[in-house]
Amino acid sequence: MEISGARILVAGATGVLGGLAACALAERGARLALAGRNHVRLAALARDLGGPPARCFEACDLDQCSTLGPWAERALSGLEGVLVTVGAAGYGAVEDVSNAMAGHLLTVNALCPMAVLRGAAPVVADKGFLLAITGGVPGPAGPESADDLAGSADYTASKAALSGWLGVLTEELAPRSVAVLDIRSPRLDTGFTERSLTGRPPALPPGADALKAVYSLMDSITST
């Protein structure tokens, strides 16, 4: 897809990856709609990017999440793509993580992106794209080593749920040539793990360069 001129929703734009992605898309000429939780950072980003439509949302309000795609489609008079960069980290041995926290991680990391993309799927243009960031999904070709995964069962489960859902969505949207991008990111230097909602992240070497990851994400979009 040609990014220049494409109308794209970034949900999670107030986060590090979301903000970098929004700036990279704007530099390449995309027309953006921004959604994020933090209204101060959202307003600042929108100002920096020349005042695109912007809306606050809470990941735990799934019905609100599903309205973002239709809102962006109306605000931009069309929608070619959606990026969901919402996520929350949480650590701890399985017996140390409360059920409430496990439910929260599942909601923010899986049900929220699903709800955003569920709402966006009917309104995104044919040949458009829907993108979410997983990572932390174990498997033969997965990016995470066993060391990276220790103490992250609930986070890993939430991303695995999202990844499985995206796989089925890929098949469902294939007749319309809508690309579903499951970005299996390795650990990045965004400070994400330090913002863990519970427990402490394992001591690991610094993550990879987030800006490079965003450039590679731009390549993934361009090659759809």
Ligand X SMILES: NC(=O)c1ccc[n+]([C@@H]2O[C@H](COP(=O)([O-])OP(=O)(O)OC[C@H]3O[C@@H](n4cnc5c(N)ncnc54)[C@H](OP(=O)(O)O)[C@@H]3O)[C@@H](O)[C@H]2O)c1
- Interface contacts to ligand X, rule CB under 6 A: 12, 14-18, 36-38, 41, 58-60, 85-88, 108, 133, 135-136, 185, 187-188, 190, 192, 195, 207
Bridge pairing between strands 129-133 and 179-183: parallel
Tell me whether residue 78 or residue 186 sits nearer to ligand X (CB atom).
Answer: 186
Q: Residue 33's beta-bridge partner residues? A: 9
Tell me whether residue 105 or residue 121 sits nearer to ligand X (CB atom).
Answer: 105
Tokens of 35: 């959604």
Tell me whether residue 49 or residue 88 sits nearer to ligand X (CB atom).
Answer: 88
| Inter-CA distances, 107 with 8, 84, 119, 195, Å | 23, 14, 16, 17
Handedness of CA 28, 7, 108, 147 (dihedral sign): negative
Tell me whether residue 125 or residue 197 sits nearer to ligand X (CB atom).
Answer: 197
Please report, to the nearest 10 degrees, the dihedral formed by the alpha carbons of residues 161, 163, 168, 169 taken in order.
110
Shortest distance in whole angstroms from residue 7 CB to ligand X:
21
Shortest distance in whole angstroms from residue 202 CB to ligand X:
13
Shortest distance in whole angstroms from residue 176 CB to ligand X:
25
Shortest distance in whole angstroms from residue 5 CB to ligand X:
26
Place of tokens 């969901």: 84
Place of tokens 């174990």: 138
